[in-house]
């Protein structure tokens, strides 16, 4: 499956200043521990490690060429030229994406590619769009922050990541092509866009859910964060055009991002929302503990929609899906059936039922907006009390901690503050910042809210407090399979913790 180095370099968006020896490339790698004989090693500076420091290890492992972005590494630590082609580029992450696409023979050019970005709702919207496409008779694959689905196969996309890296993305797209897919649906996170993980994906449609306060630890300002999301829409103008496939932008008129994104050119611009002047909207909305029903109002007419998903925010996700589907000329009956077919999405208002007389829901909510949406949805699912278990991540956006404490204090009856990837920060300080928000709205320690650093103990405490008809909402981790303490990722699953807590409670009850 090898490819010549010159063929990979021809895919880069920059001119090479010097002639470079051509060699056969058998694979690509950016982690020296994963290099195999014949590989091209791409070195770039990460958040914790600098790949340039591991060039000797990559060469020892069998790398036959190296791509760098720091000219200090054009020579070895001994001052000698490397004994293989060494290519200097302005941005090695971007180079990796283009070369990965070339290595797999540009798979996205053989697919219609739909990208979904936003702060909240991306994964659910990706699942809804994929379901509609499949019901309509298309062969579609998707890549989300939870998993990748290609034909009948599913792949975990990482213990604790957002968009998979560029090598994985292009590899998954190539598998979709091989499986005969005609559509790919990609979740495009702000990190994925800023770090070029979805660069060289030739998008045909870009959709946004919303853009709210998040990831300001990485992007520094909200404007930078918003611009990272906007890259998906800007890519429509630069990606390869496919026959009879217009470039489409789907925007949320109710979100503050609308005024910013609407000025980015696209062949077709579609709008959805509940309050603004949108082409796709909903009326007669009925929210219940078992799902949602509404009448979709579209340029193609009105029709009823039903979904097993809960919460008003999922009306927006459904409207985004309908907008995408109509742009692809999918019949209404398939839109209805595809939306109805998605009963739950892993870690997104996912109900866990082991026969207990109260509800337990796991949700990924880790932003102020998503926590508020989850709690409002939970209020519509029960007439009993709501206990929320959540924390805030260390080394991440610190400003949101008291804000989320205040939201929980207003909307939940009981609050259990706990760990959510404290990393190298002091967990007690993180919990104190959240607690401050609870106290700002009059909630009292040990009466309305509790601080329990051990997440397993916190979940057990909340489940032991629950009475018949109550609801326990566990947020912040969702689908994730690890939790970070210090610099180490330890295995963790909210799903396992909830099931174990329920088993322990009812084993204890049975003994009585």
Q: Which residue has the higher pLDDT, 43 or 164?
A: 43
Q: What is the pLDDT of residues 103-113, one digit of tens each?
A: 999 999 999 99
CB of 326 closer than 8 Å to CB of 299: yes
Shared-domain flag, residues 161 and 242: yes
- Tell me the C-alpha to C-alpha distance, in Å, between residue 439 and each of 387, 433, 442, 472: 16, 10, 5, 21
- Integer CA distances (angstroms), 486 to 23, 128, 391, 423, 427, in order: 42, 36, 16, 4, 10
Q: What's 275's DSSP letter?
A: S
Residues 79 and 129 in one domain: no
Helix axis angle, 313-327 to 122-135, nearest 10°: 40
Sign of CA dihedral 426, 428, 433, 434: positive
Specify if 33 maps to a domain.
Answer: yes
Judge whether 345 lies within some domain: no
- Residue at 216 is within a domain: yes
Q: Yes or no: say if 144 and 161 are a contact pair by the CB < 8 Å rule.
A: no
Q: How far apart are CA 147 and CA 239, in angstroms?
A: 25
**Can you give the pLDDT at residue 214?**
53
Q: Is residue 127 part of a domain?
A: yes
CATH number of the domain to which 50 belongs:
3.40.1390.10
* Structure confidence by residue, pLDDT tens digits, 399-410: 999 999 999 999
Q: Give backbone dihedrals phi and psi of 181, rounded to 5 degrees, phi first.
A: -70, 150
Say whether 259 sits in a helix, a strand or coil. helix
Angle at 145 between CA 496 and CA 208, to 5 degrees: 130
Q: Note whether residue 91 is domain-resident.
A: yes
Are 250 and 311 in a shared domain? yes
The average confidence (pLDDT) of the chain is 93
Whether 271 and 380 map to the same domain: the answer is no
What percentage of the chain exceeds 70 in pLDDT?
96
Q: Which range marks the domain in which residue 234 is found?
A: 106-340
Least confident of 149-158, 301-310, 332-341, 391-400: 149-158
The reply to whether 90 and 144 lie within a common domain is no
Domain boundary among 340, 368, 385: 340
| Nearest of 274, 277, 245, 246 to residue 262 by alpha carbon | 277
How does strand 350-352 pair with strand 359-363? antiparallel
Whether 110 maps to a domain, the answer reads yes
DSSP output for 84-101: S-EEE-S-HHHHHHHHHH
Give the pLDDT confidence of 71-129 residue by residue, as tens digits.
Answer: 999 999 888 999 999 999 999 999 999 999 999 999 999 999 999 999 889 999 999 99
- Helices 455-465 + 494-511 axis angle, to 10: 50
| E-assigned strand segments in 325-385 | 350-352, 359-363
Q: 390 and 250: one domain? A: no
Q: Do both 186 and 319 map to the same domain?
A: yes
With a cut of 70, say whether residue 159 has pLDDT above it: no
Number of domains in the chain: 3
Decide which of 299, 316, 340 is a domain's last residue. Answer: 340
Quick check: 500 pLDDT over 90?
yes
Residue 73 lies inside a defined structural domain of this protein? yes
Do 303 and 384 share a structural domain?
A: no
Q: Given a cut of 70, is residue 23 above it in pLDDT?
A: yes
Q: Are residues 259 and 123 part of one domain?
A: yes
Which residue among 52, 85, 101 closes a domain?
101
| Chain segment 204-250, per-residue pLDDT in tens | 999 999 998 654 445 468 788 888 889 999 999 999 999 999 999 99
Condensed to tens digits (0 to 9), the pLDDT of residues 275-291 reads: 989 999 999 999 998 89
How many Å apart are CA 494 and CA 500, to the nearest integer? 10
Query: Is 396 in the same domain as 471?
Result: yes
* Domain harbouring 316, CATH code: 3.40.1190.10
Q: Is the pLDDT of residue 188 over 70?
A: yes
Alpha carbon distances (Å) from 499 to 165, 310, 483: 32, 22, 18
pLDDT score at 303? 98
Specify the CATH number for the domain of residue 460: 3.90.190.20
State whether 396 and 265 are in the same domain. Answer: no
Question: Residue 59 falls within a domain, yes or no?
Answer: yes
Domain match, 118 and 209 both: yes
The H or E element containing residue 289 is: none
In the three-class reduction of DSSP (H, G, I as helix; E, B as strand; rest coil), residue 136 is classed as coil
* Overall average pLDDT of the 305-312 stretch: 95
């Amino acid at each position: 499956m090898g490819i010549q180095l010159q063929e990979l370099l021809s895919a880069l968006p920059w001119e090479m200043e010097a002639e470079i020896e051509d060699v056969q490339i058998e694979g690509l790698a950016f982690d020296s521990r994963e290099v195999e004989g014949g590989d091209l090693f791409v070195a770039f500076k990460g958040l914790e490690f600098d790949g340039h420091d591991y060039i000797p290890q990559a060469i020892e492992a069998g790398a036959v060429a190296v791509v760098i972005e720091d000219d200090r590494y054009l020579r070895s630590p001994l001052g000698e030229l490397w004994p293989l082609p060494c290519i200097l580029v302005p941005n090695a992450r971007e180079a990796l994406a283009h070369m990965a696409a070339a290595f797999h023979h540009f798979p996205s050019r053989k697919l219609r590619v739909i990208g979904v970005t936003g702060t909240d709702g991306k994964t659910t919207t990706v699942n809804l769009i994929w379901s509609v496409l499949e019901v309509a008779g298309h062969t579609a694959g998707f890549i989300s922050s939870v998993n990748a689905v290609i034909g009948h196969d599913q792949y975990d996309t990482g213990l604790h990541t957002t968009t998979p890296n560029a090598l994985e993305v292009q590899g998954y797209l190539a598998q979709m092509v091989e499986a005969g897919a005609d559509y790919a649906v990609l979740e495009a996170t702000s990190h994925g866009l800023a770090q070029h993980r979805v660069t060289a994906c030739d998008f045909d449609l870009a959709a946004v859910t919303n853009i709210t306060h998040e990831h300001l630890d990485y992007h520094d300002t909200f404007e930078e964060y918003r611009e990272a999301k906007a890259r998906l829409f800007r890519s429509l103008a630069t990606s390869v055009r496919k026959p009879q496939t217009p470039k489409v932008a789907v925007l949320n008129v109710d979100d503050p991002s609308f005024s910013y994104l609407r000025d980015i050119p696209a062949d077709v611009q579609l709008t959805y929302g509940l309050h603004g002047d949108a082409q796709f909207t909903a009326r007669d909305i009925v929210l219940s503990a078992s799902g949602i029903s509404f009448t979709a109002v579209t340029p193609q007419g009105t029709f009823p929609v039903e979904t097993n998903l809960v919460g008003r925010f999922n009306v927006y996700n459904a409207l985004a899906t309908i907008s995408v589907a109509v742009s692809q000329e999918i019949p209404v009956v398939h839109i209805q059936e595809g939306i109805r077919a998605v009963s739950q999405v892993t870690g997104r208002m996912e109900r866990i039922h082991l026969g207990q007389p109260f509800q337990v829901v796991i949700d990924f909510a880790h932003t102020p907006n998503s926590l508020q949406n989850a709690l409002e949805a939970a209020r519509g699912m029960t007439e009993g009390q709501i206990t929320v278990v959540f924390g805030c991540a260390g080394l991440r956006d610190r400003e949101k901690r008291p804000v989320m404490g205040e939201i929980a204090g207003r909307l939940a009856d009981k609050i259990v503050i706990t760990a959510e990837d404290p990393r190298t920060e002091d967990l007690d300080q993180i919990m104190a910042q959240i607690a401050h928000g609870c106290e700002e709205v009059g909630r009292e320690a040990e009466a309305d809210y509790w601080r329990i650093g051990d997440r397993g103990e916190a979940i057990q405490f909340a489940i032991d407090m629950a009475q018949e008809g109550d609801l326990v909402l566990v947020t912040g981790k969702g689908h994730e399979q690890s939790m970070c303490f210090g610099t180490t990722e330890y295995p963790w699953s909210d799903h396992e913790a909830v099931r174990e807590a329920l088993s322990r409670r009812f084993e204890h009850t049975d003994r009585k």
